[in-house]
Amino acid sequence: MAILYESLGSFHTGVFSYRILISKRSRGTISLTGENLIFESEKDNVPFHLKLSEIRDFYLKNRFTIPIIELKSIHGTIHTISTLKERKKHFHSSLQMVENLFRQLTRLIFNKDQIILFDAIVMFYPGSLKSFNIKESSLRGHLFLTENYILFKSFQSGNLSRIKIFDIQQVIMEIIDSVTYVSIETLDGGFYSILPLTTSWGKFVKDKNKTEKLYDILNQAKMYKNSEQFSNQKNEKLREDLIKCLYCGNIIEPEANLCPFCGNEK
């Protein structure tokens, strides 16, 4: 199986502690394939395999000022994982490195075999921006736009949203307190607002270019899906209009007087 992601990191199953996190047994190589998360310890070089299909949830946390990802399996087991970088014989982790691993996990678990049109870290608001306190209701996480849906995975536990492109009624740019958001209204009356982010001096800030790019690509995806839906409906109507020859059973056009296959009248 091809390796899709690889990094030096730390992996531990069960009760977490700082000593365990930095120990040689917990330190090794983290790899991701299309099916598994693999960890190979520096101490014993025995690979541990965790099927991606068995991961129920994953989320970011800070433990002892170290950014980590906690994975919950369908069996109730908790695994702690972090990425590391060696510098002057010391090992360090960064939020950016861990967020990249979070992105890869989200892509492989929820977006496997999908064509990715856009992805970014965003602030996500499940509702109208005018109806609640933005700061209190915002969720930060990673967003993927595919040909078929928008998927948002929060950095917090348990928050996952999926919006089908077919279900989107309109996409607009909305300005609240001098900040531009991409706002989505769905056919069932739901509202979602998205603010793409970038990092500057270790902090997240709004990214106007990504906001405009998301708006453009999302509208293009919506237009394509609407066109595809219209084409499918048209083809279905044509199939319904076609009839079978009573003599040979072949499909013939409804306006034909004679079957082109057997020559009999339809």
In the chain the domains, ranked by start, together with CATH numbers, are 5-109 (2.30.29.30), 114-240 (2.30.29.30)
Amino acid symbol at 62: N
132 sits in which H/E element: none
Q: How confident is the model at residue 247 (pLDDT cuts 50, 70, 90)?
A: low
Residue 240 scores a pLDDT above 60: no
Q: What are the strands, taking DSSP E only, across the chain?
A: 5-13, 27-32, 36-41, 47-51, 55-63, 66-73, 78-83, 85-87, 90-92, 116-125, 139-146, 149-154, 160-164, 168-176, 179-186, 191-200, 203-206, 243-244, 251-252
**Which tens digit of pLDDT belongs to each residue from 47-105?**
899 999 999 999 999 887 788 999 999 999 999 998 888 777 777 777 888 999 999 99
**Which tens digit of pLDDT belongs to each residue from 108-148?**
999 888 899 999 999 999 887 776 566 667 899 999 999 99
Chain centre distance of CA 157 = 15
Cα-flanking dihedrals φ and ψ of residue 133, to 5°? -75, 115
Give Rg (Cα) of the chain.
Answer: 25
Instruction: Look over the chain and give the mean of its residue pLDDT values, rounded to a whole number.
Output: 85
Residues 149, 168: Cα–Cα separation, whole Å: 10
Residues 211, 122: Cα–Cα separation, whole Å: 10
Tokens of 255: 């306006």
Q: How many CB atoms lie within 10 A of CB 120?
A: 19
pTM: 0.81
Q: Do residues 11 and 81 lie in contact, with contact meaning Cβ atoms separated by under 8 Å?
A: yes
Which residue reads 């739901």 in tokens?
A: 190
Which residues 6+ apart lie within 8 Å of 111 measured at CB?
144, 146, 151
pLDDT at 221: 92
Tokens of 132: 């609640």
Amino acid symbol at 109: I
Q: Which of 58, 222, 53 is nearest to 156 (CA)?
A: 58
